[in-house]
Amino acid sequence: MVKSINFFNRISRLIIVVLLCHTLTFSLFAQNNQENFQSERADIYKNKYKVSNLYETITDNYGEKCPQVYGTRNMRVVLYGIIYRGGANNVYNKFNKRDNKNPLPDEGLENLLKEGFSTAIYLYKTNFSKAKKIIGPDSSGKTLTYIQNSLSNEKEVRQLLELVYENMFDSTSGPIYIHCWNGWHQSDYASALILMQFCGFNNEEALSYWEKCASGNLAKYNHIKNAILKFKPYPDLKINTQIKNSICPCLN
């Protein structure tokens, strides 16, 4: 009887060891596949827009330079294949000119969907109620979701960064376009937060980035400067070095 129990115990331990090894192997395989996916998506969008740093524009201040994303202004990369930032081309729009203080025009949303984007985020509330919230589906059945986030408190900041983090680990998603009106101050602020959270920028480096990309009288924006200097990255949303090296333009 004792021998039978000992034999059963040895078999049980062996099964547990095999299961643990299988789980570890599967976890490492999934992680490697994930990192490969992020690198591949980053390369696709590097080749699309041909920008090599955080400061080059994909569309200029008049919404020109890249017809594929017409409807945007001052569009720049923040994280390759994950986050792009800019403004909405309303005041210079050749097809449907309107006041600058508006969300993206319909053709901007439609063009982003054609380019594979899955989300756009309007960083103000003005006139958002009039905008389309779901664009598509396209011929492959994909849609673009248009949401609003003013980053007016810590909860909204956290929501933005969680959305970016989740997008990185979702192979079915496309990039996110975050925007204000001109592509200067508020989209710049959102991008500074993202670079601190995911690319290792310290507060002073993030502020310097904000000042280089912003325009006009920056003295009016002390509240944004202070928010950048006070921000602390969330430990549970950090990414590893390999992913960081794939998606952060500042590290390429």
Please, what is the angle between helix 154-168 and helix 185-198, to 10°? 60
pLDDT at 36: 78
Question: What's the fold here for domain 33-251?
Answer: Protein-Tyrosine Phosphatase; Chain A (3.90.190)
Residue ranges in the chain assigned as alpha helix (H): 2-49, 106-114, 154-168, 185-198, 203-213, 222-230, 241-247
pLDDT at 9: 53
Quick check: 195 and 251 in contact, CB under 8 A?
no
- Report how far residue 46's alpha carbon sits from residue 81's, in angstroms, rounded to the nearest whole number: 7
**pLDDT tens digits for 84-100?**
999 999 999 999 999 99
**In the chain, which stretches have pLDDT less than 50?**
2-3, 5, 7, 14-32
Helix, strand, coil distribution of the chain in percent, nearest 5: 50, 10, 35
Quick check: 54 and 209 in contact, CB under 8 A?
yes
pLDDT at 31: 45
Which of 69, 62, 65 is CA-nearest to residue 94?
62
Quick check: 188 and 213 in contact, CB under 8 A?
yes
pLDDT at 220: 86
- Report how far residue 126's alpha carbon sits from residue 183's, in angstroms, rounded to the nearest whole number: 15
DSSP state of 78: E
Q: What angle do CA 49, 197, 247 make, to 5 degrees?
A: 30
Q: How far is CA 56 from the centre of its chain?
A: 17
**pLDDT tens digits for 188-245?**
999 999 999 999 999 999 999 999 999 877 888 999 999 999 999 999 999 999 999 9
Q: What is the pTM of this model?
A: 0.86
User: Per-domain residue ranges for the chain?
Assistant: 33-251
- Report how far residue 252's alpha carbon sits from residue 73's, in angstroms, rounded to the nearest whole number: 24
Quick check: 144 and 117 in contact, CB under 8 A?
yes
